[in-house]
Amino acid sequence: MLTLISFLVTLGILIAVHEYGHYRVAVACGIKVLKFSIGFGKPLFTWRLKGKDTDFSIGMLPLGGYVKMLDEREAPVDPAERHLAFNTQPLKSRAAVVAAGPLANLLLAVLLYAVVNWSGVQEPRAVLASPVAGSLAQQAGLTGGEIVQKAAFEGDELETLRSFEDLRWRLTQGALDGQDLQLVLGDEAGASTRTVLLPLSRLHAADADAQLFRKIGIVGPWTAPVIGEVMAASAAEKSGLKAGDVVRRIGDISIVDGQQLRETIRAHAQSPGADQGVVAPQRWQILRAGQPMALQVTPEISQENNVAVARIGAYVGAPPEFVTVRYGPLDGLWQGAVRTWEVSVLTLKMMGKMVIGEASLKNLSGPLTIADYAGKSATLGWTSYLVFLALVSVSLGVLNLLPLPVLDGGHLMYYLWEWITGRGVSDAWMDRLQRGGVAILLGMMSIALFNDVARLVG
């Protein structure tokens, strides 16, 4: 129920802001707006503000909205009101009305990011976990436990990292742009110890999938190798493990953090006989209440995306150390604008790479994934939900600015043609372009929906 409510609230806010952008600029340009609707189909609620000519409504299908303006191309217009019609307005006014919707979504994202920056958010400290074996991070000499103080792409000025999320964002940008990332590592006293270079340029755009951070080798922040909640009748309970146990060694491997502990357990699925569900017990050395103990632990084998994975049925790794990231009024607003710009550019780059085949179409997401993430972010707290809402708002704004005929960007493309040639697009060409745009959009929606179902079923 929370997922459904969060999804509907997300759609309602984003659609309302988008359509209000069109409406507000239309009114400012002296255009008569006949109807403002959130959703399609039969109206559930309809009202009119005092002294206004616009009917406001909420439709039955909440998957969009529209602003209907007085327009001679849609219905006859009283000559006395012709100056209020959309089609009679100068080019700059029509373009402003069309662009206002996507820009409203981008401005909403700036505000949402700013609110999060002002209120402060708890984020993991930028302390590195053990790198994935054979990854770029391991090849660069990282071992885990390093504190990342600053980071910069080659040729850029070093910037202080406030949290692990700052690092994750830079890793994503570097991987998609093919830029190496310089990291300045330090100790608890704040002194810089060494500098390493992550060769992200070795990654290809096709690597930008769900396994991206495993290929880089930096999956999450450092956590203590502690056993958390143990599920009933699990391998962990059968082996005698209890919440609070600190794992020191598994076989001949010294365990230094939660990430390494998880990787060592997972790797047991590759041991002889594991493919038939038969695994040898592991000898674990633990500390319980400060006292050393030895246990025989036999993980259980399960299938994850058709790959055998070993599990013990317990939460592995203590929660990471958190820091509060908060900005002042101007800095928070500026950082909100910067993050909105960076996410917009990253979205366009990713779309471009998918179009030319350099990135997988599996990265497209649809309403099911959005609903899933809306519910998950809502359970994590209002700041997580606001960040999610900002991200989707940016995506909606950028998507609508694409030069597809059925989108706002397509109409801006028509106006660009009109500005260059001095005449509008002919009705015949308009019809062809609209049909082509609908076909492309339906294709994108089909792929996104297929990916949604594949993620949920998988």
CATH of the domain at 238: 2.30.42.10
> Which pLDDT score, from 0 to 100, does residue 248 have?
93
Residue 357's pLDDT band (cuts 50, 70, 90): low
**The pLDDT of residue 341 is above 90:** yes
Give the residue among 38, 29, 43 at the shortest CA–CA distance from 8.
Answer: 38
3-state secondary structure of 11: helix
- Per the domain annotation, does 57 fall within a domain? no
Query: In total, how many domains does the chain have?
Result: 3
Q: Which residues contact 195 (CB under 8 A, 6 or more apart)?
A: 182, 183, 184, 185
- Judged against a pLDDT cut of 60, whether residue 419 lies above it is answered with yes
48 pLDDT band (50/70/90 cuts)?
A: confident
pLDDT of 209 strictly over 60: no
Of the residues 318, 336, 357, the one at which a domain ends: 318
- Asked, for residue 346, whether it belongs to a domain, the answer is yes
Whether the pLDDT of residue 265 is over 90: the answer is no
On whether residue 18 sits in a domain, the answer given is no
User: Do 246 and 211 fall within a single domain?
Assistant: no
Structure tokens at 226: 């502690």
Cβ-proximal residues to 384 (8 Å cutoff; 6+ apart), any chain: 377, 378
Same-domain pairing of 433 and 359: yes
- In this structure, the answer to whether residues 143 and 107 fall within a common structural domain is no
Rounded to the nearest integer, the mean pLDDT of the chain is 84
Asked which of 152, 185, 216 is the last residue of a domain, the reply is 216
In a domain, 64, yes or no: no
Residues 277 and 307 in one domain: yes
Asked if residue 276 has pLDDT above 60, the reply is no
Asked if 205 and 141 sit in the same domain, the reply is yes
Q: How far is CA 352 from CA 100, 205, 274, 305, 448, in A?
A: 24, 11, 42, 28, 16
Type of residue numbered 73: R
- Is residue 285 a contact partner of residue 253, using CB atoms and an 8 Å limit? no
Assess whether pLDDT exceeds 80 at residue 188.
Answer: no
Q: Give the Cβ contact number of residue 438 at 10 Å.
A: 13
Which pair of tokens denotes residue 26? Answer: 């239309």
- Is residue 353 in a domain? yes
Residue 357, both tokens: 């085949």
**Torsion sign across C-alpha atoms 203, 358, 451, 167:** positive
Q: Quick check: 217 and 132 in contact, CB under 8 A? A: yes
Cβ(245)–Cβ(251) below 8 Å? no
First to last CA, the chain: 22
Tokens of 42: 């039969």
- Best CA proximity match to 25, nearest among 127, 83, 97, 98: 97
Share of the chain above pLDDT 90, in %: 32
CATH number of 193's domain = 2.30.42
As beta bridge partners, residue 109 has none
Instruction: Describe the crossing of helices 329-355 and 91-119 by its angle, rounded to 10 degrees.
Output: 120
C-alpha pair distances (Å), 18 with each of 6, 11, 397: 18, 10, 8
Q: Do both 448 and 333 map to the same domain? A: yes
What's at 345, amino acid-wise?
Answer: V
Looking at residue 457, its pLDDT comes to: 60
Domain that holds residue 375: 89-120+328-458
Res 364: pLDDT: 65
Same domain, 116 and 197: no
For residues 50 and 339, give the distance between their C-alpha atoms in angstroms, rounded to a whole number.
39
Q: Is residue 285 over pLDDT 90?
A: yes
Final residue belonging to a domain, choices 216, 239, 258: 216
> Are 453 and 384 in the same domain?
yes
Same domain membership, residue 375 and residue 314: no
pLDDT higher than 90, residue 97: yes
CA distance 443 to 37: 26
Q: What angle do CA 275, 280, 285 make, to 5 degrees?
A: 135
Residue type (1 letter), 168: R
Max avg pLDDT among 101-115, 220-234, 416-430: 101-115
Predicted local distance difference test score (pLDDT) of residue 305: 63
Instruction: Tell me if 451 is assigned to some domain.
Output: yes
For residue 367, pLDDT beyond 80? no
Q: Which of the residue ranges 158-162, 195-199, 347-351, 363-367 would you say has the lowest mean pLDDT?
A: 363-367
Instruction: Verify that 191 and 109 share a domain, yes or no.
Output: no
The verdict on residue 162 lying in a domain is yes
Determine the average pLDDT of the residues in 413-424: 87
Least confident of 277-281, 320-324, 331-335: 277-281
SS3 60: strand
Q: Which amino acid is at 394?
A: V
Residues 282 and 241 in one domain: yes
Residue ranges with strand state E in 267-397: 282-288, 291-297, 300-304, 307-311, 314-316, 322-325
pLDDT tier for residue 363 given thresholds of 50, 70 and 90: low
Which residues carry out catalysis?
Answer: 19
Provide the pLDDT for residue 445.
Answer: 72
User: Residues 333, 453: one domain?
Assistant: yes
Residue 44 included in any domain: no
